[in-house]
Chain A
Amino acid sequence: MSEKILITGNEAIAEAAIQAGARFYAGYPITPQNEIPAYMAKRMPEVGGVFIQSESELAAISMVMGAAACGFRALTSSSSPGISLKQEGISYIAGAELPAVIVNIMRAGPGLGNIWPAQSDYFQATKGGGHGDYHNIVLAPASVQEAFDLTQFAFELADKYRNPVMVLGDGLLGQMMEPILVPRSSFLVPREESKQSTKHEAQSTKTWALTGCKDRKPNLVASFRMREGDLEKLNQHLQEKYQEIEGKEQGFEALDIADANTIIVAYGTMARIAKGAIKTLRAKNIKVGLIRPITLWPFPKDIFDRVKGQGLRVKFLAVEMSYGQMVEDVRLAVGSEYMVEFLGRSGGGIPSEEEIAYSVERIADRKTKRYPLNAKR
């Protein structure tokens, strides 16, 4: 049984984390994700969890590291400038192989930028972000329902791979209200009851967790490897793990690609807008489809291979609320024999359905490569 509720993206993420068993949240206020800490401040105590408004994002992510080191599901959330500060801790968490979830409700940069929705932290999220050779698993919800579902999935992936997982949304998704289906039990269970079950109880399967070394050898959570060869060993192990994740966890949605001449590649909010454009274009008999990466890292390369394998003569149009970040992964995925065009805006504007439709029509009959393509508005 499930229940339909009307909720904002930010609150859906917060509630999903609670229902996934997260019992620790630390964060520092920043627009457009302030609903998450506010929700957590109210909800965490109800389930016997801990909420801390930290002194900074540097502290928040380190607090999450501490809670995760004890075996608890823990998360933090922020928006772009705050996520920059969290890079230090994320790198440590990746190196120490701790599971943790980081939510980035992106706003436009660089610098303080502004608070309008954007997708310009793609590089930072998917290519490492902090120092060292590591990857976050990055999930990109396109609806409030998906924000709920993917946040829950994020905790599973984090535990499974002992790796930081980032839920990457934008201000539009965070602020938007939509009806979603949630497991009914969640909202009906008396809140006092759920408090008992998880309070201060690390998951027993996490044998590496810090609990005090009763009846076992001491556990150590650390990324530091001083002895010669040890760090290379850790890095090789991490690389093997990343390869496994790339093989198993690619997620995407494909729409109308079987007969498409042009395939739009877009994620998150941008993909929803692209779907509107596709409707208009299909009505005009223009054969256009969509690949929507749901995992940004690992990037869903396999679907591009499948498209290529079918020998389709197809052009790609990457559309982003940025000036061209994901498009680089599209180019890597399809190789040089395919045309990949780009349409993007950020800093206040978002590519509209009309702009996308216009771009698709313009490239539909173009033979030679021209890049970048800037749609007229």
Chain B
Amino acid sequence: MDKIFTKPKSLRDIPTHYCPGCGHGVAHRLVCEVVDELDIREKVIGVTPIGCAVIAYDYWEFDCCEAAHGRALAVATGIKRMRPHNLVFTYQGDGDLAAIGTAETIHAANRGENLTVIFINNAVYGMTGGQMAPTTLLEQKTATTPLGRCAKLEGYPLKISELLSCLPGVYSIERVSTDSPAKVLSAKKAIKQAFINQMEGKGFSLVEILSACPTYLGLKPIDSVKWMAETMTKEFPLGKIK
């Protein structure tokens, strides 16, 4: 009998450290499925973030490099410029990519580095205990916005994808979600396209993946995807941004 569903070869067969219902596991799998389908496992170099996905390399069966918090796109720039024939991607959370690493993100994008960026937007800082992220919604309660994020004091949810889309150096930006099986499928399509873009030398491609952090949303996994579909996507509308 033919096996029609297996673990991707690029994904190690070990349990992850992620909380139940966490979106990181889904995103990891999608990246690995794409790597397998494009047959690039032996050419890919991943740059991992500081955040809950800090040990993503423990789950991935290909070459990886750590980067300091927020510096993934600088590290990836160094790698890609020296090894243009490898496929280089960063995998970063919202704190990593859109707060401490904002400068690295904007400038790698503006230089049009031929890279693929997997940007996990879960609207909080997971790793450090659920603090406000740049992408935290207004009125969303976090460890550091106990009364809810207030625009006057904490500013607005940062739409880094929209911001980056203004840069001529950026080739493609798409926002996808993982709150339903159908959306997971389109998320995978977007990731695949972002890798193909790099293979074709098109330049900077970013996929923003809305992702659940049930632990720090204080919701059950099922309710957290509901929250994503009903509330988060209102602030972060899905679709091709550039």
A58, B74: Cβ atoms closer than 8 Å:
yes
State which of A52, A89, A215 has its C-beta within 8 Å of the C-beta of B77: A52
A23-B82, A212-B44, A214-B42 given; A54·B66 CB < 8 A: no
Number of A-B contacts (CB under 8 A): 140
A220, B64: Cβ atoms closer than 8 Å:
yes
A62, B78: Cβ atoms closer than 8 Å:
yes
B78, A89: Cβ atoms closer than 8 Å:
no
Give the interface segment out of B52-60, B142-150, B195-203.
B52-60
Cα(A211)–Cα(B62), bound, Å: 10
B103 at the A interface (CB under 8 A): yes
Q: Which residues does B use to contact A, with CB under 8 Å?
A: 41-45, 47-48, 54-55, 57, 60-68, 71, 74-86, 103-104, 106-107
In this complex, the member of A60, A72, A210 whose beta carbon has the largest number of chain B beta carbons within 10 angstroms is A210
A55, B45: Cβ atoms closer than 8 Å:
no
Give the interface segment out of A63-71, A234-242, A245-253, A350-358.
A63-71
Give chain A interface residues in 194-231, CB to chain B under 8 Å: 200, 202, 210-215, 218-224, 226
Q: Which residues does A use to contact B, with CB under 8 Å?
A: 23-24, 26, 50, 52, 54-56, 58-60, 62-70, 72, 74, 88-89, 92, 96, 200, 202, 210-215, 218-224, 226
Cα(A74)–Cα(B79), bound, Å: 11
User: What is the chain A residue whose CB lies nearest that of B84?
Assistant: A200
B44 CB contacts on chain A under 8 angstroms: 212
Cα(A50)–Cα(B55), bound, Å: 30
State which of B48, B54, B60, B75 has its C-beta within 8 Å of the C-beta of A66: B75
State which of B41, B60, B65, B103 has its C-beta within 8 Å of the C-beta of A222: B65
B interface SS class: mixed
Cα(A52)–Cα(B82), bound, Å: 12
A54 CB contacts on chain B under 8 angstroms: 74, 107
A70, B79: Cβ atoms closer than 8 Å:
yes
- In the A-B complex, the 9 residue pairs with the closest CB atoms: A66-B78, A62-B74, A222-B66, A62-B71, A63-B78, A55-B107, A66-B75, A214-B42, A67-B78
In this complex, the member of B74, B78, B79, B106 whose beta carbon has the largest number of chain A beta carbons within 10 angstroms is B78
In the complex, 19 of the A-B residue pairs with CB atoms within 8 angstroms, ordered by the A residue number, are A24-B81, A24-B82, A50-B81, A59-B74, A59-B103, A63-B78, A65-B75, A66-B67, A66-B76, A74-B78, A92-B68, A211-B83, A212-B42, A212-B44, A213-B41, A214-B42, A215-B42, A220-B66, A222-B57
B86 CB contacts on chain A under 8 angstroms: 210-212
Cα(A300)–Cα(B44), bound, Å: 44
Cα(A276)–Cα(B47), bound, Å: 52
State which of A26, A66, A89, A202 has its C-beta within 8 Å of the C-beta of B65: A66
B57, A213: Cβ atoms closer than 8 Å:
no
